Chain A
Amino acid sequence: MAANPMYQFNVYRIGPEIKINNIDISFTNASLFMVISSLAILIIFNLGTKRSIIPNKIQLLAELSYSFISKMISDTAGSKAKPYFSFIFSLFMFVLFCNMFGMIPYSFTVTSHIIVTFVLAAFIFIGVTIIGFIKHGLGYLKLFVPSGVPMVLLPLIVVIEIISYLSRPISLSVRLFANMMAGHTMMKVFGGFVVSLGIVGGWLPLGFSVALTGLEILVAFLQAYVFAILTCIYLNDALNLHH
């Protein structure tokens, strides 16, 4: 069973079965890694809040990530997005830490499950839409009518814009989920090759595996960054309506 590359994505119950009104909310390995990631974020960033003028290493890390995300938000969504800073910061850190914890062998990658990424993306989509309607009222619908388009093309463009808007949560969630799943599956497949080819022919897939690990760490960071920056872009659409 361990040879099945999809086996690593199995969710299984840890501890007793918890049911509220016949709904299963048991603690699973996915829940465990969500808790571990959140705790790691909290511990690292709490260590980084010491009040010293010259920062130590952890404080420097915390402050660098703070200014990194702050700069990302102000670059993509402008100064109006300041109130949503802590949400985007939490989002980025959560996705990043889940991805990175997934890189540890025998661990579980929370973000490789479509349901997790979809809930995050759907929450962002609904939140951004609500913010847009609160800020601009029905004028937010102007988002679907780009300026400077010939009248003939307008019906088509509006339909495309609406579809593209509605597909945002899907594209956002599938991007992260598929990247994570594909990368981990590939590493597992190459790992299986190493085992099945043995000491004679296993070196090539082992080298691939090592290279893939590096690539996957890059992808883990990049996908977290993309997830956060797309959230910023959607937020920018909702805050500064200029299409």
Chain B
Amino acid sequence: MLKKIIFQFLALSLIFAYSAQSAESGGMPQLNPEFWISQIFWLVLTFGLLFIILSKFILPKISNNLETRKSQILENIETADKQREETEKKVKEFDKIINDTKVEAKNFFNSERQKVLDDINNKRLSLEKDIEKEIIKAEEEIDQLKKTSQEKITKIAIETSSDLVKQLIGEDINKSSLSAIVEDLSKKEMEKHNGI
């Protein structure tokens, strides 16, 4: 520091000495005091005006611009964050809805299948009952038919045999004796047929 100062003083004194020596022969125009006052005056005027205009009008605008940009960027980042969060929430909701619907659909499908199965079962049961009833009825009918058919067969046999006898002999035969014979024969025939 001290070295620098001494050096500067030396340089200054050298400059002054040089200027004093060569003031007439041109030398350094910087050390000619003719326009010093003018330079100071114009420096103060221009620099003062520059400072006033910059500090009052231009710099506040620039700093304002910078501030607004900063706050705008921060705001935008904030809204972007908010929207991202909202999106995540929405995505979660969407997933939840999809899951719920899947479960619901499964449940619905299961219950419907159960219903259909029950229905089919019920219908089958009732159908089976009906069929059994029909079978029983049919069996009864068959039984009855068996009984009635034998009597009818006997009757028809008696009548045909009496007609046959009449045609063969030309005489009426006692019906009761004929019927006894036919019944006896048919019984034998039936036993033979039934394998008894």
Task: Enumerate chain A interface residues (CB-CB to B < 8 A).
Answer: 4, 6-7, 9-11, 13, 23-28, 30-31, 34-35, 37-38, 41-42, 45-46, 48-49, 51, 53, 55, 59, 62-63, 66-67, 85-87, 89-90, 93-94, 110, 112-116, 119-120, 160, 163-164, 167, 170-171, 174, 177-178, 181
CA distance A243 to B50 in the complex (A): 34
8 Å CB contact of B39 from A38, A51, A113, A177: A113
A interface: dominant SS: helix
8 Å CB contact of A42 from B5, B26, B54: B54
8 Å CB contact of A9 from B30, B59, B63: B30
A174–B8 CB distance below 8 A: yes
8 Å CB contact of A6 from B2, B4, B29, B35: B29
A27–B42 CB distance below 8 A: yes
B47–A94 CB distance below 8 A: yes
A114–B55 CB distance below 8 A: no
Residues of A within 8 A of B53 (CB): 42
Q: B117 within 8 Å of A by Cβ?
A: no
- What is the minimal beta-carbon distance from B88 to any residue of chain A, in angstroms? 28
Residues of B within 8 A of A59 (CB): 65
- What is the minimal beta-carbon distance from B105 to any residue of chain A, in angstroms? 50
Q: List 13 A-B contacts (CB under 8 A).
A: A24-B34, A25-B37, A25-B41, A28-B38, A30-B39, A35-B46, A38-B47, A42-B53, A59-B65, A66-B59, A85-B59, A90-B55, A170-B8
- What is the minimal beta-carbon distance from A114 to any residue of chain B, in angstroms? 5
A116–B72 CB distance below 8 A: no
In the complex, the chain B residue whose C-beta lies closest to that of A10 is: B29
